[in-house]
Amino acid sequence: MRYGHFDDTRREYVITRPDTPLPWINYLGTDAFFGIISNTAGGYSCYRDARLRRITRYRYNSVPPDSGGRYVYLRDNGSGQYWSPSWQPTQRKLDHYECRHGLSYTQIASAYLGVRAETLYFVPLDETLEIWRLRVSNERDTPADISVFSSVEFCLWDAQDDATNFQRNYSTGEVEVAGGVIYHKTEYRERRDHVAYFACSEPLAGFDTQRAAFLGAYRGWDRPAAVERGESFNSIAHGWSPHGSHHVRLSLAPGETREVVFLLGYWENPRDQKFDPPGSGVINKALVRPVIDRWLQPATVAEGFDRLRESWTSLLSTLRVDTPDGDANRMANIWNPYQCVVTFEMSRSVSLFESGIGRGMGFRDSNQDLLGFVHMAPGRSRARILDLASTQLATGGAYHQFQPLTKRGNNDIGSGFNDDPLWLVLGVAAYLKETGDASILDEPVPYDNAEDSATALYVHLERSLRYTLDRLGPHGLPLIGRADWNDCLNLNCFSDTPGESFQTTVNKDGGGAESVFIAGLFILAAKDLAEIAERRGLAGDASSYRAAAEKMAGSIVEHAWDGAWFRRAYDYFGNAVGSSENAEGQIFVEPQGICVMSGIGVQNGMATRALDSVREHLATAHGIVLLRPAYTRYHVELGEISSYPPGYKENAGVFCHTNPWVMIAEAMVGRGDAAFDYYKRINPSAREEIAEIHRCEPYVYAQMIAGKEAPTHGEAKNSWLTGTAAWNLVAITQWILGIRAEFDGLRIDPVLPAEWPGFTATRRFRDATYEISVRNPAGVSGRVGHLLVGGESIAGTLVPLAPPGATVNVEAVIR
Ligand code: BGC
Ligand code: NOJ
C-alpha cells in the first residue's frame, strides 16, 4: 500500500494522504539554520546546534503524535469555520491534500471550503531564516473573507533546559513586538546576544506572543481560542511560554490569489550593539531589519527558492547514473545523496528519533558520513575533517562525539570506543582520493583542541593506527574498549544497574575483550595510510603499515575463522562471540562484511564461504539481520546488545548500515547478482509498495528494519540519520556500478547483475567529466574485460586523470 508517489522530474516525493503511518519528515536548511518538517507541518528549527540554539519547540513522543510545528490556520470569517491547511493540528478532513517533500524544501497544498492554500517552506542559502510562503486562492464564485493565523512556539534556547527547568523558565520569557515583527528575546537582557524573530509581509490585524492567550485555557493546538473567535488577543508574553502568531485578514474576490510571506529567523547582534538606545534593554533592530525587509519581498523569495533548487542540481550533478533499475536510479541520483548531505550536516542529532538533545556529532559517524558526501562538497568535507581531528586525543584515541556549536569533545560521553580513530583514516583517505589535495596532510591540527598541541594531520593518522597497535589483546586482535562500531557490544561493561548507560559507565579493568571488527577496519585503514605514506615519499612508513595489516590479517585467519564464517569478538574472559560454539549470537554480519572488504580470503575461498553463511543464516526478504540467533535473555558479559528484545536494533534487527558491507564484499568476490539482490531488499524506493509494513519514509533509508525474530518483521525505525545512507551510496555507485575515486585516477570496475545489459553514468572528478558507458553483451555477472578511454584501449580498470576541463569518454565491456 502506498501513501503517495515519487515525482522524479521534480525530485520530490508526493504524499497524497496526511495520515501516514508515521510522520514522514524532510529537512530544511543546508548550512547553519536547520529544521525538520513533517508532511503535516510538524517539526522545529534550530541554529547550528539543536540542543543549545533551539528556536522552536517540538514535543517528542507526544499524543497525538507530531505536536508542535510551523502552523498556519485559515478561518472562513463568513461561517466561522477554521482549519489547518496542513491537516494538523485541527485534523479537519480536507477536500484535497498534497505534500511535496523536495530537496531542502517542503510544499503543502490543500483545499477546503473552496479555499486553496499552498505553503512553501525553505531556508534560503546563506541565510539564518526560514520562509513560509503561503498562497491563498478563492476558488468559490463569491468573495471570501479569510483570516490567516500563523503559529510557532518559541523554545527558550537550550532545548534540554527548556524541557525540564520549569521553576526558572516560567519566569524568564520575554518578547518584543515592533513594526509587525515578533521578537523572541529570552535571556537577551543578560548573556545572550541572539534573538529569534517572526515576521509577516502583510499588515497585521493582530498578534499573540503568549501561548496561553492564543490557545486559551485547557486548549490544544487543534482549537486555539484566537482562531476560533477570529481575532488575536495582542498578548505580550511575560514569562510562561513565548509564542508567535500573526493575524492577517484577506478579502479575496472569486478566483483571486494572495501571497503572504512569513519569516522565522535567528539573529545575532555584536555585543556592543545589542541595545537601542544603548543600555536600554530594547533590541537594536538596525542590523536585522534590512534582512527582514528584503526577504519579505515576494521577488526575493522566488529568487531565493530558485537558487536553492539550482544548488541542488549542481550538487547532484557530480554523479548521475542511468541503470536498468528505476529504484536504483532514483536513489542513486536523488534521494540517497540527499540523505548523505543531511546526515553529514546533522550527524545523529535531529530527526523523529533523535531529539536534538542527546547526541552531538559522532566521531565515527561523521567520518563515515564523509564517504557519501565528499564527492559533492570537498571544501566542506575538508573543514569537517579538521574539526574532527581537532577533537582527537594525544593518545590517538578520540572523543566519541563533539558539540557542533563549540566544536569541543563531549565530556559526557568521553572516549574509549576503540574503533573511532581508525575511521578518521578512512575519512581522510576518501577526501584525498576524491580531491588529490595532499596539503590537508600538512595542516597543523591540535589534539583535544588544546593550544600548542598541534601536529600535522598526517601525524594524527599515524597516531590513529598506533592507538590500535598499542592495544592488542591475547589473540593479537584489537582490544574493543567500550565498544566498536557496534555501540551495543559492551564486553567490558558488566552493567547490572537499571537505567545505567551501557556506553558511559565505568568499565571493568583487566579483561582482554577483543574485536574482530576493529581488526578488519585496521587493515583497511593501514592499507590506506600505506598508500598515503608512499605518496609522501615515506616508503619506510608505507611498508611498516602494510606489514602491520598483514600481521593483523594473519591474526584474523588464525584466531577469528570459525570454520564457516568470521567470529565477532572475544569477550572479557576470552570466550568467542559469534561462533558456532555459542548457543545464541552464533554468527554476526559485521565481521563477514569488514573482513572480506579488507581483502581476507578473497583469493582462497574463505570470503565466499563467509558470504554463503550470511546468505544461509542472516539474509531475509527485508534485508540481512545483524546476528543469529537473537539473544533471548540479558547477557551481562555482552551488554546492551542483549538488552533489546529479539529482532530489534543491534539484537538481530536488519541493521541497514551493515548491509552495504555485504554488498561490497559480494562485489569484491565478483557476485553481482547477490550484491544487487541485497541492495534491492533494503532500497526504500523498492519497498514503497509495502509502506504499511515498512512504515517509515519510502525516500530515505532507515537505520533498522525489524528482523526475522521480531513480531513486526519488516517494520523500519530510525529513518534518516544513519550511516546506512553513506554506505549504500558507496555500495551501489562505487562497487556495484564500480565507479571509484582512487589516488591516481578513476577506477571503473563494475560488478553487475547478469541480466543487466549495461548502464551509463556521468562522473565529475578532479575538474574533468567522465562519460561512462558499460555494456554487458554476454549477459554475465563478470568483470571488465575491455576498457576504452577516449577511444583508446587501456590495460586494467584505472582511468588515468584527465586534464581539468576535459570530457573523457569511457567505454567498458563486461566479460
Ligand atoms: C543504540 C545504538 C547507538 C547507541 C548510541 C544505542 O542505544 O542501539 O544504535 O549507536 O545507542 O549511543
Ligand atoms: C548508531 C550509531 O550512530 C553508530 O555510531 C553505531 O555504529 C551504530 N548505531 C551501531 O551500533
**Category of 203 on φ-ψ map: left (φ > 0), alpha (ψ -120 to 50) or beta:** beta
Look at ligand 1, atom 7, and give the residue with the nearest C-alpha: 488
Confirm if 679 and 328 have CB atoms less than 8 A apart. yes
Q: What is the 3-state secondary structure (H, E, C) of 249-285?
A: EEEECCCCEEEEEEEEEEEECCHHHCECCCCCCCECC
Question: What local confidence, expressed as pLDDT, does residue 403 receive?
Answer: 83
Look at ligand 1, atom 10, and give the residue with the nearest C-alpha: 487
**Cell matching residue 708:** 526475522
Count other C-beta atoms under 10 Å from residue 462's C-beta.
19
Ligand with the closest atom to the CA of 726? 2
Distances (CA, A) of 757 to 230, 668, 775, 782: 63, 20, 6, 12
The whole-model pTM stands at 0.98
Angle among Cα 100, 104, 109 to the nearest 5 degrees reads 25
- Find the length of the chain: 815
Q: Which of 347, 361, 401, 488 to mutate to test the pocket of ligand 1 (most atoms within 8 A of CB)?
A: 488
**Cell matching residue 252:** 479575496
Look at ligand 1, atom 5, and give the residue with the nearest C-alpha: 487
Q: Name residue, grid cell 596539503.
A: 439
Round to whole Å and give the CA distance between 617 and 19.
37
Of 181, 183, 233, residue with least CA distance to 210:
233
Ligand with the closest atom to the CA of 517? 2
Burial (CB < 10 A; 0-12, 13-18, 19+), residue 350, is buried
Tell me, in angstroms, the distance from the centre of ligand 1 to residue 360's CA: 13
Q: Estimate to the nearest angstrom the gap between the alpha carbon of 694 and the chain centroid.
A: 19
Q: What is the mean pLDDT of each run of 10 residues along the chain (815 residues)?
A: 97 98 97 97 96 96 96 98 98 98 98 98 98 98 98 98 98 98 98 98 98 98 98 98 98 98 98 97 98 98 98 98 98 98 94 89 96 98 97 96 85 91 98 98 97 97 98 98 98 97 92 97 98 98 98 98 98 98 98 98 97 98 98 98 98 98 98 98 98 98 98 98 98 98 98 98 98 97 96 98 98 97
Q: Name residue, grid cell 547514473.
A: 321
Question: What local confidence, expressed as pLDDT, does residue 413 receive?
Answer: 84
Q: Which of 402, 419, 487 to mutate to test the pocket of ligand 2 (most atoms within 8 A of CB)?
A: 487
Sequence-separated (6 or more) residues with CB below 8 Å from residue 509: none
Round to whole Å and give the CA distance between 813 and 45.
50
Tell me, in angstroms, the distance from the centre of ligand 1 to residue 380's CA: 27
Host H or E run for residue 244: strand 242-252
Host H or E run for residue 74: strand 71-76
Host H or E run for residue 660: helix 659-668
Binding site membership of 717 for ligand 1 (Cβ less than 6 Å): no
Binding site membership of 487 for ligand 1 (Cβ less than 6 Å): yes
Question: Can 487 be counted among the known catalytic residues?
Answer: yes
Tell me, in angstroms, the distance from the centre of ligand 1 to residue 733's CA: 28
Round to whole Å and give the CA distance between 382 and 300.
32
DSSP designation for 419 = T
Tell me the three state secondary structure of residue 256.
coil
Burial (CB < 10 A; 0-12, 13-18, 19+), residue 315, is middle
Round to whole Å and give the CA distance between 93 and 97.
9
Say which amino acid occupies 301: V
Tell me, in angstroms, the distance from the centre of ligand 1 to residue 414's CA: 15
Host H or E run for residue 598: none
**Cell matching residue 589:** 554480519
Q: Name residue, grid cell 563494475.
A: 750
Binding site membership of 724 for ligand 1 (Cβ less than 6 Å): no
Tell me, in angstroms, the distance from the centre of ligand 1 to residue 23's CA: 22
Sequence-separated (6 or more) residues with CB below 8 Å from residue 249: 77, 145, 146, 147, 148, 205
Tell me the three state secondary structure of residue 440.
helix
Count other C-beta atoms under 10 Å from residue 795's C-beta.
6
Round to whole Å and give the CA distance between 542 and 756.
40
Binding site membership of 487 for ligand 2 (Cβ less than 6 Å): yes
Look at ligand 1, atom 4, and give the residue with the nearest C-alpha: 487
Of 326, 319, 332, residue with least CA distance to 728:
332
Binding site membership of 650 for ligand 1 (Cβ less than 6 Å): yes
Dihedral (Cα; 353, 125, 108, 317), 10-degree rounding: -90
Distances (CA, A) of 697 to 4, 341, 489, 687, 692: 10, 17, 29, 10, 11
Tell me, in angstroms, the distance from the centre of ligand 2 to residue 758's CA: 35
Confirm if 735 and 750 have CB atoms less than 8 A apart. no
Packing angle of the helix pair 420-435, 457-469 (nearest 10 deg): 140
Q: Do you find a cis peptide bond into 203, omega within 30 degrees of 0?
A: no
Q: Name residue, grid cell 533471548.
A: 632
**Cell matching residue 401:** 562525539
Tell me, in angstroms, the distance from the centre of ligand 1 to residue 640's CA: 9
Binding site membership of 671 for ligand 1 (Cβ less than 6 Å): no
Binding site membership of 347 for ligand 2 (Cβ less than 6 Å): no
Active-site annotation holder among 162, 365, 487, 528: 487
Rg (CA), the chain: 28
Binding site membership of 410 for ligand 1 (Cβ less than 6 Å): no
Binding site membership of 649 for ligand 1 (Cβ less than 6 Å): yes
Ligand with the closest atom to the CA of 486? 2
Confirm if 243 and 208 have CB atoms less than 8 A apart. yes
Binding site membership of 567 for ligand 2 (Cβ less than 6 Å): no
Of 151, 111, 149, 97, residue with least CA distance to 257:
111
**Cell matching residue 204:** 497585521
Say which amino acid occupies 732: I
Sequence-separated (6 or more) residues with CB below 8 Å from residue 478: 418, 468, 471, 472, 514, 515, 518, 519, 522
Tell me, in angstroms, the distance from the centre of ligand 2 to residue 487's CA: 6
Binding site membership of 503 for ligand 1 (Cβ less than 6 Å): yes
Of 609, 725, 723, 721, residue with least CA distance to 671:
609
Q: Which of 502, 503, 631, 721 to mutate to test the pocket of ligand 1 (most atoms within 8 A of CB)?
A: 503
The sign one gets for the Cα dihedral 535, 373, 423, 460 is positive
Count other C-beta atoms under 10 Å from residue 320's C-beta.
15
Q: Where are the alpha helices (DSSP H) in 536-656?
A: 539-559, 589-597, 606-613
**Which ligand 1 atom is the nearest neighbour of the CA of 703?**
9
342 backbone dihedrals φ, ψ, rounded to 5°: -65, -45
Tell me, in angstroms, the distance from the centre of ligand 1 to residue 488's CA: 6
Question: What local confidence, expressed as pLDDT, does residue 404 receive?
Answer: 78
* Strand-pair category, 54-56 with 12-15: unpaired
Tell me the three state secondary structure of residue 573.
coil
**Cell matching residue 31:** 548550512
**Cell matching residue 323:** 541503470
Confirm if 465 and 525 have CB atoms less than 8 A apart. yes
Confirm if 558 and 550 have CB atoms less than 8 A apart. no
Count other C-beta atoms under 10 Å from residue 110's C-beta.
23
645 backbone dihedrals φ, ψ, rounded to 5°: -60, 150
Round to whole Å and give the CA distance between 23 and 811.
44
